[in-house]
Amino acid sequence: MYKFKFADIGEGIHEGKLLKWEVKVGDKVEDGDTLFSVETDKITAEIPCPVDGTIAKLNYKEGDVIHVGDIVVVIDDGTGDSAAAPAPAKVEAPKETVEAIEEPDAGGVVGEIKVSNELFPSFGGAAPKAPATSNTIVKEDDVSNANDKRTQDGPKVDCEKTYDLIIVGAGPGGYVAAEHAAKNGLKTAIIEREFFGGVCLNVGCIPTKALLKSAKVYKQIKHMQDYGFGMELAEEQINAIKPNWKTVMNRKNEVVGQLTKGVAFLMRSNKVDTYTGEAKYIGDHAIEVNGKKLAYKKLIIATGSRARRIPINGLEEGYKAGFVATSKEALSWTEIPKNLIVIGAGVIGVEFACLFDALGSKVTMLQNIDKILEILDKDIQKTLFDSFVKRGIDIKLSANISKINKDSVELSIGDKIIKIKADKVLISVGRVPNIEAFKDMPNLEIGKRGEIVVDDYCQTSVQDVYAIGDVNGRLMLAHVASAEGVSVVDTIVGHKTRTNYETNPSCIYTFPESSSVGITEQFAKENKLDVVVQKTPYRVSGKALADGETEGFCKIIADKKTGTLLGAHFVGQSSTDIISELSAFMDLEGTVYDLSRTIHPHPTIAELISETCRHAIYKLNKANK
């Protein structure tokens, strides 16, 4: 009989109100099914069932207050105990009765996992095996042992608690690694100084996507007459429809709130110990947080990055005055700037430029080099550049910014000196890894860009210490951080795995959006690779036409001899959702022959993939005659 206790869900929460039962006595339940929802003064959460079985007894009714440690429900999991006789249909049981049947070690807690009592002595051996993941699993003898020789020095510190694994940073790298570690039986702690979910969930990917959705809806409203709505409205009336920024921001905040609470809860429900505070390396295998000294067998540094601020005259003053913002502060602006200057036309710059342009700002982008989105395929650069300019975004290339004033930016382009007025300036000129907490760690190698240097397994120069995500400076993308986290945990539990960066997809959420995987056409040219390149415009797609969104293309790059897929590049609606198909094919070393034979549903944008591959094959056949 499994006596399910209300677990400590952290944040200083000791009790909650049982909102709704999702099961009744006699119901068959499986591990992971929702048992009930609970509301505390901080969160509302669904509580999952940790075992398979039959509901024997519900000890509380909806609306009751339950306390940490209370046995809320008894589940017959087939482990015996004659008290197991299913309780009568009565819902409520007096608390005394509940406590009377409690055994000292009998209760489980939410999402209980078995935690190893012994710290694992070395790689492999008795350590639990991780499930296979999409990352590349490497045979033991393929792995370089070079790092195994590097030791971790520093003062010996007496610690109050020891963990198999401590993770510093609860972004998409850290929290995914923590969950995976706990599920694999490691006694795990995660330390976060600011917000669970990291930059991505709180002030990065997710809030920007929520705002971009509002901007997209607004764009569609403006074009509603094309689709047969509001025909009675005059142009001025449609133009008079303005975004309500407060509501747009509230929606964004709700999305973020839901996700970040979910992350904190995920940690606790997997029995990952969470610490909120600034972590600091204090000695050999030791970390301090809020005055607590914690020892680790393995450490994952997942501290992420922050926006880079460059030495421009007046930038720091402008930043203090709120005139200049990084993407983090821009996500809390209280109004839509009438005139916005974006410094840097990289990924963050173009996404924010599109967002505020769509919401009605007059946007000027200042880019120090002669192109935008430098690392992308040239056709993507050109298509997006033309699209932005056509919409009225002013892009000034080869701009040399000399000064930021109270309400303007001064720059030169060649001999021409320009001064542009603005309400706000967004600075998006790259990101800097957060390494400060580990600067005292002996032998930790730091690279030229301030990143923690790692090998293919995210192993740092210090034994037992790994670095994942933005802090290792490899690919500053949330999904790469998560993949690295899973790989490192797999390696720690004896299943040596390295992240497969070659088939990593990248997405940019502009209007229109863009996505890429693999090599670019210019890379193929520069490296004299024998390839075939095939491109299909979106306007031939029935789905794109039906949607009225025909801007963009699909480009496929394949090896000329074998047809093996080497790269794929998209601009156009839904492209961020369909790029994964190409990544998976590249992972499997698939060819354009395979892809062209894969039946794609009609009508979808994804049909462009098989269509493009079919035409690539005609070219291949001709070339290989």
Question: Which residues are part of the catalytic machinery?
Answer: 602
Is position 450 an interface residue for ligand NAI (rule: CB under 6 A)?
Answer: no
* Sign of the CA dihedral running 268, 272, 273, 274: negative
Question: Nearer to ligand NAI by C-beta: 430 or 603?
Answer: 430
Instruction: Tell me how many residues contact ligand NAI (CB under 6 A).
Output: 26
Is position 429 an interface residue for ligand NAI (rule: CB under 6 A)?
Answer: yes
User: What are the distances in angstroms from CA 32 to CA 44, 48, 125, 364, 520?
Assistant: 17, 5, 30, 50, 43
Is position 541 an interface residue for ligand NAI (rule: CB under 6 A)?
Answer: no
Question: Pick from 351, 379, 387, 411: which is nearest to 536 by CA?
Answer: 379
Is position 509 an interface residue for ligand NAI (rule: CB under 6 A)?
Answer: yes
Helix, strand, or coil (residue 4): strand
Given the rule CB under 6 A, which of 135-143, 177-185, 347-355, 601-609 is the region that contacts ligand NAI? 347-355
Is position 468 an interface residue for ligand NAI (rule: CB under 6 A)?
Answer: no
Q: How far is CA 388 from its chain centroid? A: 26
Neighbours of 114 (CB within 10 A): 9
Is position 569 an interface residue for ligand NAI (rule: CB under 6 A)?
Answer: no
Question: Pick from 280, 277, 295: which is nearest to 196 by CA?
Answer: 277
Is position 515 an interface residue for ligand NAI (rule: CB under 6 A)?
Answer: no
Question: Nearer to ligand NAI by C-beta: 152 or 506?
Answer: 506
Question: Pick from 186, 185, 203: which is nearest to 194 by CA?
Answer: 203
- Name, in order, each residue with C-beta under 8 angstroms of 327's C-beta and a sequence gap of 6 or more: 203, 204, 208, 307, 348, 352, 426, 428
Is position 424 an interface residue for ligand NAI (rule: CB under 6 A)?
Answer: no
Is position 571 an interface residue for ligand NAI (rule: CB under 6 A)?
Answer: no
Among 198, 344, 552, 567, binds ligand NAI (CB under 6 A): 344
Given the rule CB under 6 A, which of 14-22, 428-436, 527-535, 581-589 is the region that contacts ligand NAI? 428-436
Question: What's 430's DSSP letter?
Answer: -
Is position 310 an interface residue for ligand NAI (rule: CB under 6 A)?
Answer: yes
In angstroms, give the least distance from the CB of 438 to ligand NAI.
Answer: 21
Is position 374 an interface residue for ligand NAI (rule: CB under 6 A)?
Answer: yes
Is position 345 an interface residue for ligand NAI (rule: CB under 6 A)?
Answer: yes
In angstroms, give the least distance from the CB of 113 to ligand NAI.
Answer: 32
In angstroms, give the least distance from the CB of 537 to ligand NAI.
Answer: 23
In angstroms, give the least distance from the CB of 413 to ligand NAI.
Answer: 11
The per-residue b/e assignment along 381-412, b for 16 or more CB within 10 angstroms, e otherwise, is: bebbbebbeeeebebbeebebeebeeebbbbe
Question: Nearer to ligand NAI by C-beta: 84 or 215?
Answer: 215
Question: Pick from 44, 53, 52: which is nearest to 19 by CA?
Answer: 44
In angstroms, give the least distance from the CB of 172 to ligand NAI.
Answer: 12
Among 162, 368, 398, 580, binds ligand NAI (CB under 6 A): 368
Given the rule CB under 6 A, which of 422-430, 487-495, 523-531, 604-612 is the region that contacts ligand NAI? 422-430
Among 107, 349, 433, 505, binds ligand NAI (CB under 6 A): 349
Helix, strand, or coil (residue 556): strand
In angstroms, give the least distance from the CB of 491 to ligand NAI.
Answer: 25
In angstroms, give the least distance from the CB of 310 to ligand NAI.
Answer: 5
Among 127, 168, 299, 508, binds ligand NAI (CB under 6 A): 508
Q: What are phi and psi of 444, to 5 degrees?
A: -80, 120
Question: Pick from 194, 204, 203: which is nearest to 170 by CA?
Answer: 194
Residues 195, 201, 206: CA angle, nearest 5 degrees: 155
Q: Cite the DSSP H helix spans in 240-295.
A: 245-269
Query: HSE of 145 in the Cβ direction (CA atoms, 13 Å)?
Result: 5
Report yes or no: 46 and 34 within 8 Å, Cβ to Cβ.
Answer: yes
Q: Which 261-300 positions form the footprint of ligand NAI (CB under 6 A)?
A: none
Can you tell me the distance from the alpha carbon of 268 to that of 11, in angstroms, rounded to the nearest whole number? 10
For residue 603, cis peptide bond before it (omega within 30 degrees of 0): yes
Among 85, 132, 146, 369, binds ligand NAI (CB under 6 A): 369
Among 507, 556, 571, 595, binds ligand NAI (CB under 6 A): 507
Is position 516 an interface residue for ligand NAI (rule: CB under 6 A)?
Answer: no
Given the rule CB under 6 A, which of 68-76, 130-138, 424-432, 595-603 is the region that contacts ligand NAI? 424-432
Q: How do 362-366 and 339-343 pair as beta strands?
A: parallel
Neighbours of 580 (CB within 10 A): 15
Is position 552 an interface residue for ligand NAI (rule: CB under 6 A)?
Answer: no
Is position 172 an interface residue for ligand NAI (rule: CB under 6 A)?
Answer: no
In angstroms, give the least distance from the CB of 214 to ligand NAI.
Answer: 17
The residue ranges that bind ligand NAI (CB under 6 A) are: 310, 343-349, 351, 366-369, 374, 399, 401, 428-431, 476-477, 506-509
